[in-house]
Amino acid sequence: MNIQKVESSLVKESYYVIEHPSGLTIYVHPKEGYRSAYAVFGTNYGSVNTKFRVDGGDIITVPDGIAHYLEHKLFESEDGDAFVRYAATGADANAYTSFEKTCYLFSCTDKFEESLEILLDFVQSPYFTAQTVAKEQGIIGQEIKMYEDSPDWRVTFNTLVGMYHNHPVRIDIAGTVESISEITAEKLYDCYNSFYNLHNMVLCVAGNVTPEQVIAVADKVLKPNKEQTVENIFDDEPYEVAQEYIEQKFPVSIPMFTLGFKQNAGKGAKSAKELAYMNILMDIFSSSSSRLYNEMLTEGLINDTFAYEYMEGPGYAAILFGGESRKPKEAAQRIKESIVKFKENGIDTQEFEIARRAVYGTAVRSFNSNEKIANNMVDMHFNNRKLFDYIDACANASVSDIEKSLEEMLDPNNCTLSVVCSEEHNI
């Protein structure tokens, strides 16, 4: 078993990386003086992974929404529900599926080992039958309809539909009522056996724990997996957006908008440095202290809901700006004009330094939260980044670094504006 300690002299933090004999990579970040602990057990498998092959075999195509469906079903076993088991330890457990990963998690203040044993056990113990699979369709069908009725989700999701021609990121994470009706126990096992291999997973723990505690539970519960290669298959995706404008009517009091900038995702995930530079750049555009934010706020183009989001995964990458606006088209135009001006005139040194310090401060403060530490380690692992490299990049970034990032990441001629507004609004 290989155990490595990783330290940062800059933030005086450290964590351990453990290559367990089972094939699982484990990260442990002890926090001295903390009473609670937080654990995430994740697999590099999300809603976009609907066409794949294992070890060069036949191509397997599965219904949209199956990763999310599998997440729901994995809590069940022949012996009962995992949540019932957690009730005995007092842990607060949950799970989520995103476009690119599925994670199972818990937080606790005591009985950590018992809770971790539950987590590792039920995720490794799939139990699917025709009857249990059918039972879930109504529940997830209601969840799908709930998202369809959410203007916040629709304005964001419609942006992805507008940006992408073929990539499955344009399909709802939960799928559709029609697609989930095609899910069977056999298909769930196909996905589980392909992606829930410990070599494709990670366990990240932070808080009142030691590496020895985590290793002891891992040695007891983990079932060694044979390493395999999963090839995800995606249709070709053009660089250009599919649609420049999408509008959907919803009974909202103030129109909502999302302006999405599609990026060339062919080279894979951003490095830790690139991610740090991008966040500094986005702070210059969208933080409440930025010049652009305050000008748009003063002119009534946005309100305090304005923010940005970065999305990346296999075959896709995009930066999204959005919020409420009574003039969404004007707000979007102002953002695009500002990009052009920044590219022509460069980034103001003072604005850069304010943003750099803000992003660095946010990164440092994240080490006060067990939840943020563990989830950041999951993201860093699946994207081949190192946690402290991001901190170092935030501390040492220069104006020229951010200007280069601007050239590469924001193309005002390749974006989609999504608007959700009521019938009364004339956009």
Q: Which residues are catalytic?
A: 71
Tell me how far CA of residue 134 lies from CA of 10, 45, 83, 95, 184, in angstroms.
53, 23, 20, 21, 8
User: Position 322: which residue type?
Assistant: G
DSSP 179-208: HHTT--HHHHHHHHHHH--GGGEEEEEEES
Q: Tell me the pairing of strands 230-232 and 245-249.
A: unpaired
| Exposure string over 98-129, b if 16+ CB within 10 A, otherwise e | bbbbbbbbbbbeebbbbbbbbbbbbbbebebe
How are the residues of the chain apportioned to helix, strand and coil, as percentages rounded to the nearest 5? Answer: 45, 20, 35
The Cα 348–Cα 342 span in angstroms is 9
Residue 251 phi/psi, 5° resolution?
A: -80, 75
Q: Are 311 and 262 in contact, with CB atoms under 8 Å apart? A: no
Q: Name the residue with tokens 């879930």.
A: 136
The Cα 245–Cα 243 span in angstroms is 6
By the 10 Å C-beta count (0-12 exposed, 13-18 middle, 19+ buried), 255 is classed as: buried
The two structure tokens encoding residue 188: 């769930």
Start-to-end C-alpha separation, the chain: 61
The two structure tokens encoding residue 90: 């007092």
SS3 248: strand
Provide CB contacts within 8 A for 325, sequence distance 6+. Answer: 254, 255, 256, 257, 301, 302, 303, 306, 331
Residue 150 C-beta-side C-alpha neighbours within 13 Å: 11
Fill in the DSSP letter of residue 233: -
Provide CB contacts within 8 A for 245, sequence distance 6+. Answer: 162, 416, 417, 418, 419
Residues forming beta bridges with residue 317, ordered by sequence position:
312
